[in-house]
């Protein structure tokens, strides 16, 4: 078999930072092991290929240009995510198949497609038609995936759909989760939610393997539970961004420099870093509670307010007049930061997060304890694990988002119990490093993954 054929990978990420970033990190890891990488990407959020000179990019367009592109919004703010995912899969199924055919039919046959797990069975059909093997990348943790996979059971036992009267009840089949931690999202189409999740789980089960951005020491119990139930091979090779080929000199823009200068002026471990990721949004009322809560703590804060974060506004229109008079140089609001750089900065004392999986891993790997305000899907599961299992954060539920509570929980994290949590965090950081070391589990799984992929054509 010719060598080039064996070492070619096609990747199909979901076009959002929380999914695209880990896919690119995985691309670097595989490229470093000798694979050539082609990335098929939706025209929406199409990245600047000059930032990734080692990879070939192909754009695919929404299949019916006359219909409204489901991805025409800059993010999913205010959208029903369930409808959105369904539309996404429908719109890009044919373009993906056509693009795959063009790649594979060109003589330089690819040996494997790696697609984001959320694309579900869309990619199974396309890969089968084209005749290539398919693996999935799961950009969330194992525990949340197990909770998604348990949807039929959760439904049979009437945990789902969630009833307000049962929120605090333990889900005995999935400890330590409570009903309110189940990975659901608000939707006008509850039946569709089951179908969307089921499609994702089935797409993973029928794949040739699941690549996971996690590490064995971190999720050993849930990994064992998963493997005892599902036959598909798993490759927990994370944290991806900590592999040496992902530790890159960062390209800083003017805002990054300004943020870094500001952080340099703060004392060690004093800054509250606040970010709710790339998709969550909040009501104006919640925004104001956060504004006053942050001010009341009298701690320096760095807050990422994306445009679109506050529903119905462009950016900071709702900020009360005179706010900065009370804050001065103690606070900084930005539209986006280089989060890895921020978390690695010695001035950062706590991360107030929505508990997206990437943010969770990044905070743990940089040794920063958290305050957890999960919004939807896997964030709720991650938050429960952060608080109850790994014990590196306090919960601040969205339903409790008032200025007094914010002040109280942030102070508690910064002052009283935060040090213990930082130590627990650093222990996890150390365990991640061990897993990534030459004989560690992530390195071994990576070797297995490479052999697995190489075996596909033989």
Question: Which residues of this protein are in contact with ligand UDP, per CB under 6 A?
Answer: 16-18, 21, 275, 277-279, 304, 336-340, 356-359, 362
Q: Which residue is nearest to ligand UDP (CB)?
A: 18
* Closest separation in Å from C-beta 17 to ligand UDP: 4
* Closest separation in Å from C-beta 361 to ligand UDP: 8
Residues forming a β-bridge with 331: 301
Q: Are 275 and 359 in contact (CB under 8 A)?
A: yes
DSSP 320: P
* Closest separation in Å from C-beta 453 to ligand UDP: 25
Please say which residue, 359 or 413, places its beta carbon nearer to ligand UDP.
Answer: 359
Rounding to the nearest 10 degrees, give the CA dihedral for residues 326, 332, 335, 336. -160
Please say which residue, 18 or 176, places its beta carbon nearer to ligand UDP.
Answer: 18
Give me Rg for the CA atoms of the chain: 22
Nearest to 411 by CA among 427, 394, 423, 428: 394
Helix (H) or strand (E) holding 137: strand 133-138
Nearest to 340 by CA among 364, 369, 373, 310: 364
Helix (H) or strand (E) holding 8: strand 8-12
* Closest separation in Å from C-beta 360 to ligand UDP: 7
* Closest separation in Å from C-beta 18 to ligand UDP: 2
In whole angstroms, give the CA distance from residue 322 to residue 350: 26
Nearest to 340 by CA among 281, 260, 266: 260
Q: Are 23 and 11 in contact (CB under 8 A)?
A: yes
* Closest separation in Å from C-beta 115 to ligand UDP: 17
């Amino acid at each position: 078999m010719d060598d080039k054929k064996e070492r070619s990978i096609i990747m199909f990420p979901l076009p959002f930072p929380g999914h695209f970033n880990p896919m690119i990190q995985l691309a670097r890891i595989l490229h470093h092991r000798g694979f050539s990488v082609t990335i098929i990407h939706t025209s929406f959020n199409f990245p600047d290929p000059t930032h990734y000179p080692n990879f070939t990019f192909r754009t695919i367009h929404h299949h019916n240009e006359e219909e409204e592109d489901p991805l025409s919004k800059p993010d999913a703010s205010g959208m029903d995510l369930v409808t959105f995912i369904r539309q996404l899969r429908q719109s890009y199924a044919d373009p993906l198949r056509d693009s795959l055919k063009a790649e594979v039919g060109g003589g330089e046959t690819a040996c494997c497609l790696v697609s984001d797990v959320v694309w579900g069975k869309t990619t199974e059909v396309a890969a089968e038609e084209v005749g290539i093997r398919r693996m999935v990348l799961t950009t969330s943790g194992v525990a949340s995936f197990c909770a998604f996979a348990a949807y039929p059971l959760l439904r049979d036992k009437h945990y789902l759909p969630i009833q307000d009267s049962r929120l605090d009840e333990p889900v005995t089949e999935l400890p330590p989760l409570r009903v309110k931690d189940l990975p659901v999202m608000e939707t006008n189409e509850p039946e569709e939610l089951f179908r969307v999740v089921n499609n994702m789980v089935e797409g993973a089960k029928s794949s040739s393997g699941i690549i996971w951005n996690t590490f064995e020491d971190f999720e050993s119990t849930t990994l064992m539970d998963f493997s005892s139930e599902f036959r598909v091979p798993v490759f927990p090779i994370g944290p991806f961004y900590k592999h040496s080929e992902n530790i890159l000199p960062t390209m800083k823009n003017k805002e990054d420099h300004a943020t870094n200068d500001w952080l340099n002026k703060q004392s060690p471990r004093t800054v509250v870093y606040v970010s709710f990721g790339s998709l969550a949004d909040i009501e104006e009322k919640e925004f104001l509670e956060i504004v006053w809560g942050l001010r009341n703590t009298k701690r320096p804060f760095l807050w990422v307010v994306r445009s679109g974060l506050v529903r119905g506004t462009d950016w900071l229109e709702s900020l009360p007049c005179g706010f900065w008079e009370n804050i001065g140089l103690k606070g900084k609001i930005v539209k986006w930061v280089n989060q890895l750089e921020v978390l690695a900065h010695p001035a950062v004392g706590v991360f107030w997060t929505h508990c997206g999986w990437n943010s969770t891993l990044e905070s743990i790997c940089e040794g920063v304890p958290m305050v957890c305000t999960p919004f939807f899907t896997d964030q709720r599961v991650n938050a429960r694990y952060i608080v109850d299992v790994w014990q590196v954060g306090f919960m601040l539920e969205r339903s409790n988002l008032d200025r007094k509570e914010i002040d109280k929980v942030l102070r508690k994290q910064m002052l009283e119990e935060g040090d213990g949590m930082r130590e627990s965090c650093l222990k996890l950081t150390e365990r991640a490093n061990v897993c990534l070391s030459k004989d560690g589990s992530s390195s071994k799984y990576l070797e297995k993954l490479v052999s697995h992929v190489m075996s596909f054509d033989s």
